[in-house]
């Protein structure tokens, strides 16, 4: 095959399958959480807290560095002198180092839970935006269907006006209704664009990428979900912080006694012993130093640590109670919205559809007024919109419930 044929085939392939200049990100209500975990930059930054806590843990529980010291002295005639060198090390008299290690280990676990809490909040925010975006799209589709019906009715009126059998005023009112619906559709387009703009940063999208949210809001369904605060990462972090506070009390109590210092030294000394001459002498010895806890027993820090421990424990109790109340409120709200949706579906919408059909048939037969047709259509549209609003609020409550349960 010649080079010309290869180029021709490549051009044909590009024409058949054009390359998109703008990459697209596709998410659904179910998959948005995975995208957040993989691509959200704020979550990636929050994960660095774990490395910070790991560094603190690796640094904690270590002895202080040993100290080396030396001294030299002599008289004014440089005939007598002394040289000394020593090595000393501080040692804790309590288990302070082990307690420091335990505290930083608990802080590391708390940091991991706090990162999961950031993830929970980001996923909850993204799901709320996806629900609002899907409901806006479904509302727009409803208006488009209603616009098609209104246009058909408007065309019918225009035709009978052209034949001299109808009222031009009625035809104008029907056309105005169709135009108003088209204006509402444009407003919903703007709302969807704004919601997509809020969602893109949460998904970690780059400039130039387009967003495609697929799927629809499913029918409302209630299921029993047990409330367990331990599934919430913020509750886990609160428990771990309370544990850190309790370990902090023991640590401050261990700090009542300062470290002891022990050392080894060696010295060489030259002295004049008249009239016998000069003598050289070597000395090796041990040193020991300990602070006496007379004025500072760390009472203030111990008091502060005990108060912090009590506060953290009360925060755990309050948070657990708040999780239960939050879940109960969301579940009760879901039940109310589901009852309203069922009532609209089973009673109100069928009745509105029947009234709309009767009004249209009466008008076509010359037995009704255009106002009755428009009012019946407006009422039916209001009920359909109310159903979509109730469905949106149901799923927003469901997102709050699942988020409150750490799902």
Q: What is the pLDDT of residues 34-83, one digit of tens each?
A: 889 888 998 999 999 999 999 999 988 888 899 899 888 877 666 777 88
Alpha helix positions (H), 66-164: 96-162
Report whether pLDDT(397) > 90: yes
Q: Which two tokens stand for residue 178?
A: 């169709």
CA distances from 165 to 28, 308, 359 (A): 52, 86, 18
The pLDDT value given to residue 18 = 45
Residues 6+ apart with CB under 8 A from 161: 167, 168, 170, 171
Radius of gyration of the chain (CA): 40
Q: How far apart are CA 236 and CA 232, in angstroms?
A: 6
Q: Is the pLDDT of residue 255 over 60?
A: yes
pLDDT of residue 365: 73
Tokens of 290: 């300990």
Window from 16-20, 24-28, 123-127, 282-286 with minimum mean pLDDT? 16-20
pLDDT average, residue stretch 163-180: 65
* C-alpha distances in Å from residue 8, one per residue of 4, 12, 14, 21, 389: 6, 6, 10, 22, 54
- Tell me, what's the pLDDT at 76? 66
Q: Which of 49-53, 76-80, 211-215, 218-222 has the lowest mean pLDDT?
A: 76-80
Contact call for residues 36 and 126 (beta carbons, < 8 A): yes
Enter the tokens of residue 98: 């082990």
Nearest to 120 by CA among 196, 200, 37, 238: 37
Report DSSP state, residue 222. -
The pTM assigned to this predicted structure is 0.79
pLDDT digits (tens, 9 = 90+) for 339-368: 999 998 888 888 888 877 787 777 677 666
User: How far, in Å, CA of 211 to CA of 244, rounded?
Assistant: 43
Q: Are 211 and 205 in contact (CB under 8 A)?
A: yes
User: What confidence score (pLDDT) does residue 357 get?
Assistant: 79
Q: Are strands 210-213 and 260-273 parallel, antiparallel or unpaired?
A: unpaired
Beta partners for 82? 73, 269
Instruction: Count CB neighbours of 26 within 10 A.
Output: 12
Residue the block writes with tokens 């843990």? 57
pLDDT at residue 276, as a whole number? 67
Q: In sequence order, what DSSP letters do the residues of 307-344 get, joined into one string?
A: HHHHHHHHHHHHHHHHHHHHHHHHHHHHHHHHHHHHHI
- Tokens read off for 150: 């209104």
**Residue-wise pLDDT tens digits, 284-321:** 988 888 888 888 888 999 999 999 999 999 999 999 99
**Residues 405, 228 contacting (CB under 8 angstroms):** yes
- Give 371's pLDDT tier (boundaries 50, 70, 90): low
Mean pLDDT of 251-276: 83
**Domains of the chain, each with CATH number or no CATH:** 24-292+311-404 (1.20.1600.10)
Task: Give the residue with greater pLDDT, 178 vs 33.
Answer: 33
Grade residue 6 by pLDDT with cuts at 50, 70 and 90: very low
> What pLDDT does 239 receive?
94
Which pLDDT does position 338 carry in this prediction?
92
Taking alpha carbons only, the member of 392, 394, 406 closest to residue 133 is: 392
Of the candidates 109, 117, 122, the residue with the CA atom closest to the CA atom of residue 34: 122
Q: Give the Cβ contact number of residue 384 at 10 Å.
A: 21
Spell out the alpha helix ranges (H) of 163-255: 168-202, 233-254
Predicted confidence at residue 152, as pLDDT, reads: 66
- State yes or no: pLDDT of 32 exceeds 80: yes
Give the whole-number percent of the chain exceeding pLDDT 70: 82
**SS3 of residue 39 by DSSP:** helix
Torsion of CA 173, 174, 179, 182, to 10 degrees: 140
Closest CA to 258 of 296, 286, 305, 306: 296
């Amino acid at each position: 095959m010649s080079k010309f044929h290869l180029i021709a085939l490549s051009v044909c392939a590009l024409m058949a399958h054009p390359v998109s200049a703008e990459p697209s990100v596709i998410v659904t209500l179910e998959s948005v959480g995975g995208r957040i975990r993989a691509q959200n930059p704020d979550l990636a930054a929050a994960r660095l807290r774990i490395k910070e806590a790991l560094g603190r843990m690796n640094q904690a529980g270590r002895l202080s560095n040993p100290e080396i010291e030396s001294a030299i002295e002599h008289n004014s005639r440089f005939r007598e002198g002394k040289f000394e060198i020593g090595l000393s090390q501080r040692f804790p008299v309590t288990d302070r180092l082990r307690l420091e290690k335990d505290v930083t280990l608990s802080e590391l676990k708390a940091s991991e839970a706090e990162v999961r809490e950031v993830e929970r909040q980001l996923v909850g925010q993204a799901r709320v935006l996806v629900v609002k975006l899907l409901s806006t799209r479904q509302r727009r589709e409803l208006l488009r269907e209603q616009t098609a019906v209104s246009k058909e009715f408007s065309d019918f009126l225009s035709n009978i006006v052209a034949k001299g059998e109808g009222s031009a005023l009625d035809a104008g009112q029907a056309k105005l209704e169709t135009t108003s619906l088209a204006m509402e559709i444009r407003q919903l387009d703007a709302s969807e664009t704004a919601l997509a703009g809020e969602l893109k940063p949460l998904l970690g999208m780059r400039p130039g990428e387009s967003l495609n949210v697929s799927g629809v809001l499913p029918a409302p369904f209630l299921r029993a979900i047990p409330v367990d605060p331990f599934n919430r990462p913020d509750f886990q972090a609160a428990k771990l912080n309370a544990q850190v506070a309790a370990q902090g009390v023991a640590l401050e109590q261990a700090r009542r006694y300062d470290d002891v210092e022990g050392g080894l030294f060696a010295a060489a000394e030259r002295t004049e012993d008249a009239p016998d001459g000069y003598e050289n002498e070597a000395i090796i010895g041990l040193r020991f130093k300990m602070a006496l806890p007379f004025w500072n027993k760390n009472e203030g820090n111990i008091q502060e640590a005990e108060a912090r421990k009590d506060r953290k424990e009360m925060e755990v109790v309050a948070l657990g109670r708040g999780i239960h109340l939050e879940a109960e409120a969301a579940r009760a709200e879901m039940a109310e919205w589901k009852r309203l949706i069922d009532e609209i579906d089973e009673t109100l919408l069928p009745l509105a559809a029947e009234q709309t059909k009767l009004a249209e048939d009466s008008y076509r037969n010359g037995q009704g007024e255009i106002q009755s047709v428009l009012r019946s259509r407006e009422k039916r549209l209001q009920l359909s919109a109310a159903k979509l609003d109730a469905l949106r609020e149901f799923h927003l409550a469901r997102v709050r419930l699942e988020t409150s349960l750490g799902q």
